């Protein structure tokens, strides 16, 4: 059959129109959406402790950190023995590196810490002087470090772990090795208030936190932490918030976690889950295997923590959730306890674990 020329032209035109329409339809398809991340999902800032060497040494570490987090906490590089290894001689190189990296990538910096009973240089441990000399040592260190980072860090853990586990009193002289506080011994019980005052005078815009572990235990430890921060607040001491470390394991009581978060929120201060990790081997089993059941249990605990934090702490008081590092290979737990463990969100190859997805669900569901 011979198709008339006019009909043939119309037929060709129709084909071209259909092809053009198909091309347009193909172009109008939306681009694939990026996978959700911790920082894109959370209604508050998501943080991790970081070390300067890890940032410098691993492209995968850098990439995961930048992609998932918008807040960092200095791991060790701003502690006393690192910053002032000799009296009056300050070493800020590694802390400066962390701050510069965070600033470049638009991350908040939470600095850790001014005053702790550990991580002290020998010159402090062996210091000989009267109460005025001790006060000058104490004040000079806080003011010098706070002034150096003024305007560069958003917040500080001013005093870390000042309360005993057994009876809730302030650490003083050693009962168990390593439990005593040289600061309480030489400066008196009110050294904590003065630490906050000195930090505030040096950097009035920084938010100032008291940081400790064991709130989820309840009992005298939680009672004493609540009493301490409430007293500081009522006295007009410039305290902004409290850090709930949350170094826990998969058996930690959900009821205890919930009760602690409610009581901390009731102080009216900001609440920072500041050092979160969840151990799966609290019994130090040398033959443990990270089974799918353990992974599921750990993921459920991460999810519960995020959900409970969102539900119990008012939005204005949510300073965020910070994990203590993010990759199992960088966790402090295996080396400290000499055991196998997998406490964090990413495995040693920076692959997301079930724990990651559990936390992600808790941040949005």
Residue with the two structure tokens 């962390």: 98
- 275 belongs to the catalytic site: yes
Q: How far is the C-alpha of 320 from the C-alpha of 213, rounded, in Å? A: 16
Helix, strand, coil abundance in the chain, percent, nearest 5: 50, 15, 35
Q: How far is the C-alpha of 107 from the C-alpha of 149, rounded, in Å? A: 15
DSSP output for 253-300 = -HHHHHHHHHHHHHTTSEEEEEEEEEES-TT--TT----HHHHHHHHH
**Which of the following is catalytic: 161, 201, 216, 307?**
161
- 161 belongs to the catalytic site: yes
Q: How far is the C-alpha of 196 from the C-alpha of 156, rounded, in Å? A: 10
Determine how β-strand 46-50 pairs with β-strand 318-323.
Answer: parallel
With a CB cutoff of 8 Å and minimum separation 6, the contacts of 169 are: 163, 224
Q: How far is the C-alpha of 9 from the C-alpha of 109, rounded, in Å? A: 69
Exposed / middle / buried, residue 53 (Cβ in 10 Å: 0-12, 13-18, 19+): middle
What is the distance, to the nearest Å, from the Cα of residue 60 to the centroid of all Cα atoms in its chain?
Answer: 19
**Count, residues in the chain:** 365
**Which of the following is catalytic: 68, 84, 145, 275?**
275
Strands (E), the chain: 46-50, 71-74, 108-116, 155-160, 207-212, 241-244, 247-249, 270-279, 318-323
Provide the sign of the torsion angle of the four alpha carbons 39, 75, 162, 86, taken in this order: negative
Q: How far is the C-alpha of 195 from the C-alpha of 178, rounded, in Å? A: 21
Strands (E), 123-200: 155-160
Indicate which residues carry an active-site annotation: 161, 275
């Amino acid at each position: 059959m011979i198709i008339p020329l006019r009909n043939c032209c119309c037929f060709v035109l129709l084909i071209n129109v259909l092809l053009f329409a198909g091309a347009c339809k193909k172009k109008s398809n939306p681009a694939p959406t990026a996978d959700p991340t911790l920082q894109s999902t959370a209604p508050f800032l998501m943080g991790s402790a970081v070390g300067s060497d890890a940032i410098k040494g691993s492209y995968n570490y850098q990439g995961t950190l930048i992609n998932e987090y918008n807040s960092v906490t200095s791991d060790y590089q701003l502690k006393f023995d690192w910053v002032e290894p000799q009296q009056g001689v300050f070493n800020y190189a590694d802390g400066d590196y962390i701050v510069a990296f965070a600033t470049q990538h638009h991350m908040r910096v939470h600095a850790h810490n001014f005053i702790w009973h550990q991580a002290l240089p020998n010159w402090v441990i062996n210091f000989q002087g009267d109460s005025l000399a001790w006060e000058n040592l104490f004040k000079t260190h806080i003011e010098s470090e706070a002034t150096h980072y003024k305007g560069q860090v958003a917040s500080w853990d001013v005093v870390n772990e000042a309360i005993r586990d057994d009876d809730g009193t302030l650490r003083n002289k050693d009962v168990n090795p390593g439990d005593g506080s040289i600061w309480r011994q030489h400066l008196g019980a009110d050294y904590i208030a003065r630490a906050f005052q000195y930090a505030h005078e040096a950097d009035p815009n920084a938010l100032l936190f008291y940081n400790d572990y064991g709130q989820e235990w309840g009992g005298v430890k939680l009672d004493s932490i609540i009493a301490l921060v409430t007293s500081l607040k009522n006295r007009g001491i410039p305290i902004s918030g409290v850090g709930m470390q949350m170094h826990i394991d998969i058996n930690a009581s959900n009821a205890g976690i919930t009760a602690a978060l409610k009581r901390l929120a009731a102080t009216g201060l900001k609440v920072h889950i500041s050092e979160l990790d969840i151990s799966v081997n609290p019994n130090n089993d040398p033959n443990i295997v990270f089974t799918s059941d353990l992974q599921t249990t750990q993921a459920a605990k991460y999810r519960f923590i995020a959900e409970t934090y969102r539900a119990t702490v008012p939005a204005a008081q949510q300073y965020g959730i910070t994990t203590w590092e993010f990759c199992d290979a960088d966790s402090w737990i295996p080396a400290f306890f000499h055991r196998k463990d997998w406490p964090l969100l990413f495995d040693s190859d920076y692959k997301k674990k079930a724990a990651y997805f559990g936390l992600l669900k808790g941040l949005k569901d």
